[in-house]
Amino acid sequence: MGARNIIVDADACPVKTEIEEAGRQFGVQVVLVASFDHRMKENPGVKVVQVDRSDQSVDLYIANQIKSGDILVTQDFGLAALGLAKGSYCLTNRGQEYTDSSIDFLLDRRHTSAKMRRSGKHSKGPKPFTDEDRKYFLHGLTKLLKKLQEIEIE
């Protein structure tokens, strides 16, 4: 079965344009979920859902709406873990696919980093987002959509 929806944790997502492009190309509904602090407009094939600005509102909305077969785009490891548990496909904003085997490592690394920050140690943040990252993301999403389309045809 092909993807039902591409659901996007859209507050800080740098690849919304690429997601909309891929969604149109494959005929898949895109759902951008963000707080009211972010202004977004609906386009053909793109639904915008805006929630209140409290800390976890976007994550809670997505966790309650995502279904098996959907594609979730998020940088949030915890949200990705919930998506995987519900049978969705999950991608980072840089195009890497979260898997059951990688999510445990990522959650453990996040926990370890949080402990280090609480003890006063700070690490570097993520590297700046580049045009190459944008291309890699679009390639990863397109590859996943093609795979799901092929599964549907079989």
Averaged pLDDT for residues 48-71: 93
pLDDT of residue 64: 95
Bridge partners, residue 46, by sequence? 30, 43
pLDDT of residue 109: 60
Q: What is the pTM of this model?
A: 0.84
Residue-range domains of the chain with CATH: 3-148 (3.40.50)
Q: Of 30-34, 40-44, 111-115, 133-137, give the lowest mean pLDDT range.
A: 111-115
Q: Which has the closest alpha carbon to 70: 123, 33, 124, 108?
A: 33
Query: What is the distance between the alpha carbons of residues 151 and 145, in angstroms, rounded to a whole number?
Result: 10
